[in-house]
Amino acid sequence: MSDPAGSESSRAVQMRLEFDQAFARPQAPETPHLENLLAIRLGPKPYALRLSEIAGLFADRSVTALPGDMPALLGIAGLRGTIVPVYDLAALLGHGGTVGGHRWLALAAVAASGASVGVAFPTLDGHLRIPFDDIVAHDGTAADARQYVRHFARIGQAARPIVDLAAVLDAIRRQASAYANGEKLG
């Protein structure tokens, strides 16, 4: 004859073991469904920067000009105890220099060289948190799309180009190298 109480006891032990093991297993990370962006303007043109590519955002920082004729280089600024070169983002993106100052300075998260670099721009429109589905690849047909824009953020009926800071930093590195080698920049 079988022992129903023993069967229930072993089933309880089995359930307790499964319960305990469920907490011992590593949790699967949640897949983020939103992209965080900074909405900025370069003159009348709207753009966005990925927050994941920015190590800091600063307002009204003093930038000390440097001698030389390197395009887009505004000078240097002290940020978090480090002196960093600061570039005019509008000039880097081919819009000419910014008129009316550079109120905002974004510190790039990581430059390939390991050096910190700041990009300056005049207007911060705010923070955007949009679904990944609203980020679309650039098809190469937009008038202001160049090597620094690979995606657009759909916001309602509008599209805001997302600046690829890695591509901008590559352009800065090429310009700095050409400048150091005495090549004509322009």
Q: Could you tell me if residue 107 is inside a domain?
A: yes
**Alpha helix (H) ranges present in the chain?**
4-24, 89-92, 165-180
Q: In which order are the strands placed within the sheet that holds 118-121?
A: 54-59, 104-108, 118-121, 82-88, 73-79
Q: Which sign, positive or negative, has the C-alpha torsion 35, 40, 42, 44?
A: positive
- Is 12 part of any domain? no
24-50 pLDDT, tens digit each: 777 666 656 899 999 999 988 999 999
Predicted pLDDT of residue 99: 61
Q: How far apart are the first and last CA of the chain?
A: 95
Nearest-CA neighbor of 104 among 152, 164, 47?
47
CB 49 within 8 A of CB 99: no
Residue ranges making up the domain that contains 96: 34-180
- Calculate what percentage of the chain has a pLDDT beyond 70: 82
- Going from the C-alpha of 94 to that of each of 38, 45, 148, 171, the distances in angstroms are 20, 12, 10, 12
Whether residue 14 is contained in a domain is answered as: no
Helical (H) or strand (E) element with 36: strand 34-42
Question: Has residue 1 been placed in a domain?
Answer: no
Provide the domain count of the chain: 1
Q: What is the pTM of this model?
A: 0.75
**How many whole angstroms separate alpha carbon 148 and alpha carbon 170?**
10
Contact 116, 82 (CB under 8 A): yes
Tell me, yes or no, whether 29 lies in a domain. no
* 129 assigned to some structural domain: yes
What does pLDDT average to over the chain?
Answer: 83
Using an 8 Å Cβ cutoff, are 53 and 109 in contact? yes
**Among candidate residues 48, 28, 30, 26, the one with its CA nearest the CA of residue 39:** 48
Confidence of residue 179 (pLDDT cuts 50, 70, 90): confident
The verdict on residue 11 lying in a domain is no
Q: Is residue 8 part of a domain?
A: no
pLDDT in tens, 96-149: 876 667 899 999 986 556 678 999 999 999 999 999 989 998 776 555 446 789
Q: Residue 152: phi, psi to the nearest 5?
A: -125, 145
Q: Closest Cα partner for 118 from 149, 75, 151?
A: 75
The CATH number that applies at residue 134 is: 2.40.50.180
